[in-house]
Amino acid sequence: MESALAACLADFEGHAMRWPAASMSPAIIDRACGCLLGLALGDALGATVEFMTPREIRAQYGTHARIRGGGWLRLPSGAVTDDTGMALALADCLIAHHEPAAADYARAFDTWMRSKPVDIGNTVRRGISRFRRSGEACAPPSDDAGNGATMRCAPAALAFLAARPAHLAEHALAQARVTHHCPLTDAATLAVVFMVRAAVLGAGIGAVMALAHTLVRHFPAFGFRGRQVENPSGYIVDTLCAVLQAIDYNDNARDALIDVVNRGGDADTTGAIAGCIAGALDGAARLPADWLDALDPRIGQQCGRAVQPLLARSLPQG
């Protein structure tokens, strides 16, 4: 598995070398905003139907396509959950430290956990608790392949947009391994950061799906070209297969997010991951205005405010 990860990473890096070097442009900024806002919108939309089955969703909402809060967390309309909370904590860490160490990532997640978030995954809690107890910022290797490291990874792609691909990979894995240390979660996290990078740089859906197929070639478990994944669990393979199907079958972020959250299961997290990729493909200007209006304005502002400082290190001419 470790050698599969190294081979997969080498292929991701090979793809990344083909994309044009970033230069400051309004389109790049718009797509980076779309990435973070898409993540938050997918989380807010999906949280309403998290842990419901597609049949239950249909009975209650027909097609769930409006940001309305509720769900098992009884959220106010427009609220987000741990997916966005951890992504924003990661963004803050990447802005505060030019070159975060593993312990900086762990401290950022620890601070987030102390803020009493509305929800938190078991693996995330265990990882942060271990860091508190031992100061060890890297989880021991395990088979625990939850989706919590992947749901929050997008800001790393923005911060290291113009870095060597290996440099992006190193940071994507360091933040992941604070809580998750498994070849499947590592591979999924690397796939998502390279997809976001490709999308923000303007390489388009073809480059994004080429990365998905590269992932499948090295880790066949992620094979998504088959039966539609319904009720995706928090297992990263289920989560990412649902996300990749929704991105592959739909040609815009709104439709991709409606598709993926109406599959139920871990819907806020499939929404968040699909949202950061599809939002980066579409850009903020093409995200649905009614969803942006419904999003908690503090979250929208935090996403917007993070973009320039995240991109600043890659695009210093700003």
List contacts with Mn ion (CB under 5 A).
81-83, 119, 266, 268-269
Cβ nearer to Mn ion, comparing 22 with 244: 244
Give the nearer residue to Mn ion in terms of CB position, either 110 or 268.
268
Closest approach of Cβ 112 to Mn ion, in Å? 12
Closer CB to Mn ion, 65 or 73, in the complex: 73
Give residue number: closest CB to Mn ion.
81
State in angstroms the smallest separation of the CB of 8 from Mn ion: 25
- Other CB atoms within 10 A of residue 231 CB: 16
Least distance from Mn ion to the Cβ atom of residue 1, Å:
25
CB of 268 to Mn ion, least distance (A): 4
> Between residues 160 and 235, which has the closer beta carbon with respect to Mn ion?
235
Least gap, CB of 66 to Mn ion (angstroms)? 19
* Residue (11 or 119) nearer to Mn ion, CB: 119
